[in-house]
Amino acid sequence: MAVPDRVIRDEIHRDILVPAHHAQIIDTPEFQRLRSIQQLSTCEYVFPAATHNRFAHSLGAYHLAGRFLHHLETAHPGIISDDDSELVQLAALLHDIGHPPYSHLLETPRVYATYDSHESWGRRILESEETAIGQVVKEVLGADRLGRLFAIMDGLDEHQGVAIPKFLKEIVSSQLDVDRMDYMIRDQANTGAQIGGFDSARVMRALRVGDDGRLFVKQWGLPAIEAYLVTRYHMYQQVYFHKVNMLTQNYLVNMLARARHLALSGSLKLSTDLEHMLLNEELSAPQYASLNDAHVKVVLPKWARHEDEALSGYATRLLSRKDFHKSLRIDNLTIEMSEIVLPRLQEAVTEHGFNPELDVIQATIRKRGYLPYVEGIVLEDGRDASEHSALIRSLVQPDERSLVFVPESIRDEMELKVREWVKPSQSSLAQFD
């Protein structure tokens, strides 16, 4: 029975039109799995409505890619072949197919016995003859076009001797790609963050293709680019790097790492799916593509009752949101400073009867600032947007700092100690929030 064309109603973009042969890809178990992978991992502990998933985001990126391509074809008639236009849309649709449960959070060798990046797993899933999506994309595109799709996703300049225009890759992956545009709009809407936002349609309308094959921004579009970059900055500061989000991410990864240790020692029985995640050193693409958030969530009540203090402690906190550790309210605590004070802090919490391995938690924030020139956003005169805008120049500095969490009952005392320890390396003491 043929799959019909369809219209998918989206909370952000409203109607998303999906032709029948693309619907075949979306209807595979591997793509449908993205419904069960939360976009923002543990961010719901801060913003309760932030339970949206990679499925909706992937459809959103696919839709924006279609709009972007239509705009460029209107501005530059004949610049994009129908074949390449379809491949760019599918690259946007499939860019997250290899994400592990809880998105980027569990993309770590601390959790996966067979560790690799989500891009590498995505390729394996799409190339596999054992996955439904691997079979369907090959049937829909054919082997040659599938190879060109991978080349676009990998950011290559050509495939089998045929050039790939730079702007096609930039639609999929760049400072102004459709992935970033969709997730910022979608994440802001679902978290309720009040940060101003930006107009994706205006950003796209301001873009053109230059003689070098790259995208550039018309001068009149600079305010839209400023709004986009400021939104990105504030989303990182207020949402992605929120201290409770960073803490709960640590709880989850630490819990799974502890479960892996206990399972290896014979102290914990795992489900088949979690065995694949934590212990299987030869994980196959179908096995990887069967894993989702639910396999972790379903074991939390059982692990909360486990005799191991660490495993039960992490699971209980994730179940109840009680007894959370509290961050030391010290601004601009650098990674270097935290490495110096952590051993002394562990000794101090031990003196108060706490477990230093469980009750001193460090979270590292690393965010590259806006990157001009090499990866930047170019205006029509060839100069980077940062040269036109003092606002954008202010976003160039990277953000790299450390958050340290301790039990609430001793936070004030530990703060005072840490302030004294770091005083010699600071020109002025950070102030309390």
Which of 21, 104, 118, 261 is an active site residue?
118
Instruction: Return the bridge partners of 208, or none.
Output: 216
User: What are the extents of the domains in the chain?
Assistant: 6-204, 325-372+394-433
What pTM was computed for the model? 0.94
Element containing residue 195 per DSSP (H, E): none
- Length of the chain (residues): 433
How does DSSP assign 241-310, residue by residue? T-HHHHHHHHHHHHHHHHHHHHHHTTS----HHHHHHHT-TT--HHHHTT--THHHHTTHHHHHT-S-HH
Contacts of 120 (CB under 8 A, 6+ apart): 98
Alpha-carbon radius of gyration of the chain: 24
SS (H, E, C) 96-116: CCCCCCCHHHHCCCCCCCCCC
Is 6-204 a CATH 1.10.3210.10 domain?
yes
Amino acid letter, 358: L
Is 325-372+394-433 a CATH 3.40.50 domain?
no
What 3-state DSSP class applies to 402? strand
Contacts of 138 (CB under 8 A, 6+ apart): 146
**What is the model's pLDDT at position 431?**
41
**What is the model's pLDDT at position 429?**
39
Mean pLDDT by 10 residues, the chain (433 residues): 85 97 98 98 97 98 98 97 98 98 96 96 98 98 97 96 96 95 97 93 98 96 96 94 97 98 98 98 98 98 97 97 94 88 96 96 84 79 94 84 95 95 58 38
**What is the model's pLDDT at position 1?**
58
Does the annotation count 118 as an active-site position?
yes
Pair of tokens at residue 68: 């972007």
Burial 95-134 (b: 16+ CB within 10 A, else e): bbbbbbbbbebbbeeebbbbbbebeebbbbbbebeebbbb
Report how far Cα 193 is from the mean position of its chain's Cα atoms.
17
* Residue 46: closest CA among 292, 296, 235, 301: 235
**What is the model's pLDDT at position 425?**
54
Q: Is 334 exposed, middle or buried (0-12, 13-18, 19+ CB in 10 A)?
A: middle
